[in-house]
Amino acid sequence: MSTEVTNWEDAYKQQGAFDGPPPWNIGEPQPELAALIRDGKVHGDVLDAGCGHAELSLALAAQGYTVVGIDVAPTAIAAAKAAAAERGLTNATYACDDITSFTGYDNRFSTIIDSTLFHSLPVEAREGYLRSVHRAAAPGANYYALVFAKGAFPADVATKPNEVDEDELRAAVSKHFIIDEIRPAKVHAYQVEAPGIPGQFERDEKGRVKLPAYLLSAHKA
């Protein structure tokens, strides 16, 4: 597991590891999370944890939800604010903050969604992150997390997310939330052309790769 802290600001400035937009920036909510929205699993005020360019929370705001997105990268937050203003979404607000230690939203959110954030954190930062989002969750709030599964990337890739197995994910989250389900899922992303990254991934109808993941559903007591 990696303890290296990714420079997210460089990633969103299209510098450093990626030659172009970050591969997870697909221009719409992850399909697994879009399905939750269609199925009526999202309610009340929503926190988009590690929002990035915020396509998830922007989509929710367009449907009338009040949403807050938090991300550590100023460039991503600026892009999210600009998109919300351009679309006239006054019910979407964004803050640049550390998701592992943010405050000011105690018991606020009825739904918290982690769209590929958990595996992006250093392993030692997971506890602070879960403690912070639990503090921000209202009693009975739902927490959803879409996380890369172990084996999503080849073992010899030099820099990759901190993938999890089901037991590892359950052990971390169950300290703070009551787990309802952990099921196999997919993260959709654009192909990264880099040494050690194979080109034979399964693809969706838009040509994006589909990587093994888990979708965790939990709630606050």
pLDDT in tens, 32-64: 999 999 999 999 999 999 999 999 999 999 999
195 within domain boundaries: no
CATH number of 100's domain: 3.40.50.150
Question: Residues 188-221: pLDDT tens digits?
Answer: 998 765 445 555 678 888 888 899 999 999 999 9
Give the helix ranges, DSSP H, for the chain. 8-12, 31-38, 55-62, 74-86, 126-136, 166-173
The reported pLDDT for the residue numbered 179 is 98
Q: What is the pTM of this model?
A: 0.90
Quote the number of domains for the chain.
1
Residue 30: both structure tokens together: 């992850």
Question: Residues 67-107: pLDDT tens digits?
Answer: 999 999 999 999 999 999 999 999 999 999 999 999 999 99
| CA–CA separation, 200 and 202 (whole Å) | 7
Residue 213: both structure tokens together: 């993941």
95 within domain boundaries: yes
85 within domain boundaries: yes
Q: Which domain covers residue 111, as residue numbers? A: 8-190
Residue 72: both structure tokens together: 């550590």
198 within domain boundaries: no
Output the furthest CA–CA distance in the chain (Å, rounded): 46
Query: For residue 137, is pLDDT > 50?
Result: yes
207 within domain boundaries: no
| CA–CA separation, 77 and 135 (whole Å) | 22
